[in-house]
Structure 1
Amino acid sequence: MRPRRLKNEINVVPYIDVMLVLLVIFMVTAPMMTTASIDVPSVGKAAQPPAEALQVIVRADRTLALLAPGKSERPLSRNELSEAIVAAQRKNPEQAVVIAGDRNVKYQAVLEVMDDLQQKQVKRIGLLVQPTGK
């Protein structure tokens, strides 16, 4: 009696059948899919802050300052900052607020300021960016 030998062959016919079925399914469903377009803001559009916007300056050492149009920059704490912006928005509900973060500031510090303002129901919050040419 001879010892049994192992077959080193793979039967690929079932795999080909499965692939052909998947191909037919994709060919039938592809024309039914709808594509969506997303408008992503570019830096060129966002580089110009709105006229008369309040600027919140976040420095690398996490200190905050408020720069109002026509006034000098004044350092504030987080609570004082949100109160000053809420008071400005009571006078003008469409008052824009722009957050200018230092290049070396942690992203978390900018998000904390933005979160504070959103909790105080401040509308029209944006981020100030520099154009790439500067």
Structure 2
Amino acid sequence: MQGPFNRSGQRRPMAEINVVPFIDVMLVLLVIFMITAPMLNQGVDVELPRATAEPIDTEDDTEPVIVSVDKDGEYYITLGEDSTAVAPDELSKRVTAIVQRRPDTPVMVRGDRHVAYGQVVTLMTTLQRAGVANVGLISEPGSDE
């Protein structure tokens, strides 16, 4: 008779290690890390254009919302041909309203080259809080300086 019992009815110890629970735990940890790894990005997600790149062709007719910062630090919203000056606290409300009406509207940032980097980053975080998932940066093509 084979098995874990001998003739006297007593159990003898098993010499095998059961690795199935270990494999289950490792699979669960793998899934958890696969889900949480993309969430570890810090900062604002932007798609930086290159000066030598070709213009982006949009497949649909959605006009982008362009938020500009001039050299004096004033904000402007351009939608189509209409450009209006906007206060910083009103900027978030207006962009939120546009994005809620048309969620697929691209939002682009145009910053003057003499504007402080911190002000552009503040503008981008304001746009992110307003519900914009991706913010693009606009640059003029030109020579490398």
Unaligned runs of 5+ in 2: 1-47
Corresponding residue to 2:122 among 106, 112, 121: 112
Greater percentage in helix: 1
More displaced stretch, 81-90 vs 115-124? 115-124
In structure 1, how many angstroms separate the alpha carbons of the residues matched to 2:75 and 2:55? 21
Whether 1:63 and 2:74 are equivalent positions in the alignment is yes
The TM-score, its normalising length taken from structure 1, stands at 0.61
Residue deviations 1:60-108 (CA, integer Å, cap 9, x gap): 11110111113x2110011211111110111110111110001111111
Structure 1 runs not aligned, ≥5 long: 1-39
* Contact 1:97–1:124 under 8 Å retained in 2: yes
| Number of equivalenced pairs | 94
Match of 1:80 among 79, 90, 107: 90
Q: RMSD of the alignment, in Å?
A: 2.5
Shift of 1:42: 3.4
CA distance in 2, matches of 1:56, 1:46: 21
Amino acid corresponding to residue 67 of structure 2 in structure 1: V
Percent of matched pairs sharing the same residue: 26
Q: Distance in 2 between the 1:108 and 1:49 partners?
A: 30
Residue of structure 2 equivalent to 1:125: 135
Q: Is the 8 A contact 1:47 1:128 kept in 2?
A: no
**Closer, same or farther in 2 for the Cα pair 1:41/1:101, shift >3 Å?**
closer
The reply to whether residue 43 of structure 1 matches residue 51 of structure 2 is yes
Matched position secondary structure for 1:44: coil
